[in-house]
Amino acid sequence: MNNISNAEVNGLRPEIENFLYREARMMDKHQFDDWEAMWSDKGVYWVPCAHDSDPMTEVSIIYANRAGIATRLGRMRSKAMYVQDPRSICSRIVGNIEVYPGEDGGVTTYSTFNITEFKRRGHLTHQTTWSGHSEHKLSRHGDQWLMDYKKVTLLNSDGEIPALGFLV
């Protein structure tokens, strides 16, 4: 498959931006089936521990292939994750979206995000802000885009990270 041109990418920008906004909404609403359907069969989901790390030689917060993504979502669907009982309420802002031609007719995106997480446990409440950068590699499958790769680099990934029981 041929790579797409910069002019074609500019024409696709609203469609790609809407894909990223939809993904954020699926994660905020805990719509795990819909979020999982946004992945291709070759999907890789990576949240590194360090900004310049290699998932093959260094530990990651998350490094999952397509089967690993399904396993993670299965745990979340089952409500067996103590850290998410009750589930966090999240609100995401996705911004600074850049879209570039990718490989094999796909696109690569770079964006920033802020997630506000609100957690209630009994009478205690806690609110945390998570910030970072995302890289997506998307490919066209029929009339829809799917994620082949998603890398989420948390700003504080080199520091102490509490349990991540929600999707980033």
Q: Which domains does the chain have, with CATH numbers?
A: 6-154 (3.10.450.50)
Nearest to 2 by CA among 143, 145, 105: 105
Q: What is the mean pLDDT of residues 90-113?
A: 96
CB atoms within 10 A of CB 130: 20
Q: What is the pTM of this model?
A: 0.90
Bridge partners (DSSP) of residue 114 are 93, 131
Residue with the bigger pLDDT between 17 and 61: it is 17
Q: Supply the pLDDT for residue 72.
A: 83
Residue with the bigger pLDDT between 120 and 108: it is 108
